[in-house]
């Protein structure tokens, strides 16, 4: 399997993206903002399709649009109702724009399918290094804000009373999520971003309540799912995005088993 250059590139890209997605995704699930990650993925599709029309590489259009949308959603407020309405409006408008761009450039249909569902086997060396750079920036930013972000996530009222700006850290975190979403889209596509950003994190939080252990476990599970998906795709000739998503669902279901067994035990 590793005799082929495209397989080595795929594993390298998947390693970077999985580690970043698993780490950032843990905080995304912890903060109850999974819908935000889903919306940013769709916004990224609009950015990628629009960039093709003007002659810009899709990845940079993806990054630009997700960053702008993430910051915008962060500025729209921290309350749950406000956030859900804002995300819904951004999501609906972005999908409409994506449809409009495809209407103007119908020859983009094949590339559009790749953006929607991903194709890690088509990643080249320059893209691997680009993902590595974006991943390093994402993790560095998360490391800088991790302590106040965790405080604001677990005890928002107390954090605000202590002088922690909930809006500031909300905006910064969604900017990090935007970068991570753009990376994940290169592997599993914008429609399956949940597979690497939410699945491993949700499974980790089923298995442990300790934050450091949970972050490490989430990143490890994401890495296992990415590597396993690519390996299964190579030997079955089925899409890698399917296998990664299937493994993500399977791991999450298995992670819920211990808690369900404890719930069924008589008091």
Per-residue pLDDT of the chain (267 residues; tens, 9 = 90+): 889 998 999 999 999 999 999 999 999 999 888 877 777 777 777 887 777 777 777 778 878 888 887 787 777 655 544 556 666 676 777 777 777 776 776 555 566 666 767 778 888 898 899 889 989 999 999 999 999 999 988 888 888 888 888 888 888 998 898 888 888 877 877 767 778 889 999 999 999 989 999 999 999 999 999 999 999 999 998 888 889 999 999 999 999 988 777 667 665
pLDDT at 237: 87
Residue 85 CA from chain centroid, whole number:
21
Contact 76, 82 (CB under 8 A): yes
Phi-psi region of 80 (alpha: psi -120 to 50; beta: other; left: phi over 0): alpha
DSSP state of 108: G
The C-alpha atoms of residue 38 and residue 84 are separated, in whole angstroms, by 12
Task: Give one DSSP letter per residue of 155-189, joined into a string.
Answer: -HHHHHHTT--HHHHHHHHHHHHHHHHHHHHHHH-
3-state secondary structure (DSSP) of residue 210: coil
Among the four given CATH numbers 1.10.10.10, 3.60.40.10, 3.40.47.10, 1.10.3470.10, the one describing domain 5-192: 1.10.3470.10
- Please, are residues 226 and 233 in contact by the beta-carbon 8 Å criterion? no
């Amino acid at each position: 399997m590793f005799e082929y250059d495209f397989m080595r590139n795929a594993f390298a890209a998947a390693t970077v993206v999985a580690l970043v997605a698993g780490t950032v995704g843990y905080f995304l699930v912890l903060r109850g903002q999974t819908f935000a990650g889903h919306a940013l993925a769709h916004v990224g599709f609009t950015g990628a399709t629009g960039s093709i029309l003007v002659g810009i590489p899709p990845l940079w259009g993806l990054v630009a649009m997700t960053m702008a949308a993430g910051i915008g959603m962060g500025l729209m407020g921290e309350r749950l109702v406000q956030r859900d309405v804002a995300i819904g409006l951004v999501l609906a408008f972005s999908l409409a724009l994506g449809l409009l761009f495809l209407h103007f450039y119908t020859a983009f249909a094949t590339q559009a399918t790749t953006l929607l569902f991903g194709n890690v086997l088509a990643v080249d060396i320059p893209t691997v290094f680009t993902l590595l750079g974006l991943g390093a920036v994402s993790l560095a930013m998360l490391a800088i804000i991790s302590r106040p972000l965790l405080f604001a996530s677990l005890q928002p009222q107390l954090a605000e009373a202590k002088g922690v700006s909930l809006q500031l850290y909300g905006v910064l975190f969604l900017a990090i999520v935007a970068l991570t979403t753009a990376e994940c889209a290169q592997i599993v596509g914008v429609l399956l971003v949940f597979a690497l950003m939410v699945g491993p994190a949700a499974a980790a939080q089923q298995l442990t309540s300790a934050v450091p252990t949970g972050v490490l476990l989430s990143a490890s599970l994401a890495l296992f799912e990415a590597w396993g998906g690519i390996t299964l795709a190579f030997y079955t000739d089925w899409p890698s995005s399917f296998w990664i998503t299937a493994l993500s669902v399977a791991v999450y279901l298995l992670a819920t088993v211990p808690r369900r067994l404890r719930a069924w035990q008589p008091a």
